[in-house]
Amino acid sequence: MSKINIQNLKVITCHGCFDEEKVNPQPFVFNCELTYDFEKAGTTDNLDYTLDYGEVMQSITDFAKENTFNLIETLCFRTASMIMQKYPVEAVKLEVKKPEAPVNLPFENVSVSTTLERKNIYLSLGSNLGDRKATLDFAIKRLGENPAIRIEKVSSYLENPPYGGVASLPFINLAVKINTYLSPSSLLEYLHNIEAEAHRERNVHWGDRTLDIDIVFYGNEIIYTKELTIPHADYHNRDFVLVPLNEIASDFVCPLYHKRIKDLLNELLSKKNN
């Protein structure tokens, strides 16, 4: 993957938490690194295959002038998000400098930076209360409505018996491949919001529920936090997760077990048959 660099793009506009900053324009300087595959443009010399960096610079300028934020951090993150949504880039690293920040000390610059990168994420969805298919359709619709998320693949809807010995009603399960630059915690928060919209209640662990959305894989990352375990704990022992995953990502290699999904599924089925 190749990169395009935009350096020292100067925009005169208003951002800041003080009243005078909201009405008196000051300079902001943007440095932007775009991860973009321009191999075809490089080999063909055809403008149709390139990224118009002049247009990107104009978009940054317009966004910075048309919006007003208290925090330079917000300006940086929102601008980077705009670029990710508007242009076919795989990653953006953006630095915003504020050389005239109202600080009564000698300094040259204050700056913040952020890096956003698209990754392929695999989700497992399930429902066993109410109109199960309609609830899952709603969840997929809400996923697609987030401008930071692209839906890549959706598996078949499969009915399965309840798992874990607590839930009593059969589930419909499926797997979804999405592409997003949201962080694991931000993605989890959005998924919890969708569950809440579907009237998910968390009274009984592994109990009956209108909607359950789990992050099975987040790229090739291994994550252990209070909020998240990725790859999802015990997924390799759950055929209702592996079967739909195998349908859309049979050759994906688990970063924890270093095995393909289809091999993990075959192992699980073999274990169940013995």
3-state helix, strand, coil in the chain (%, to 5): 35, 30, 35
Q: Which CATH class is domain 2-117?
A: alpha beta
Distance CA 58, CA 190 (A): 31
- Tell me whether residue 98 is one of the annotated catalytic residues: yes
In CATH, which superfamily holds the domain spanning 119-273?
A: 7,8-Dihydro-6-hydroxymethylpterin-pyrophosphokinase HPPK (3.30.70.560)
pLDDT digits (tens, 9 = 90+) for 121-173: 999 999 999 999 999 999 999 999 999 999 999 999 999 888 765 667 899 99
Count Cβ neighbours within 10 Å for each residue of 179-192 and write b for 16 or more, e otherwise.
Answer: ebbbebeebbebbe
- Tell me whether the CATH fold assigned to 2-117 matches the one assigned to 119-273: no
Counting DSSP H helices and E strands in the chain, the numbers are: 8, 11
pLDDT per position in the chain (274 positions), as tens?
789 999 999 999 999 999 999 999 999 999 999 999 888 888 888 888 889 999 999 999 999 999 999 999 999 999 999 999 999 999 999 999 999 999 989 999 999 999 999 999 999 999 999 999 999 999 999 999 999 999 999 999 999 888 765 667 899 999 999 999 999 999 999 999 999 999 887 665 666 889 999 999 999 999 999 999 999 999 999 999 999 999 999 999 999 999 999 999 999 999 888 7
Q: How far apart are the first and last CA of the chain?
A: 46
Bridge partner list, 113:
95
Tokens 């997760």 correspond to 241
Within 10 A of 226 (CB to CB), how many other CB atoms are there?
Answer: 5
Question: What is the dihedral angle through the alpha carbons of 130, 132, 138, 142, rounded to the nearest 10 degrees?
Answer: 110
pLDDT digits (tens, 9 = 90+) for 49-67: 889 999 999 999 999 999 9
For the chain, give every domain's residue range: 2-117, 119-273
Catalytic residue among 98, 153, 177, 271: 98
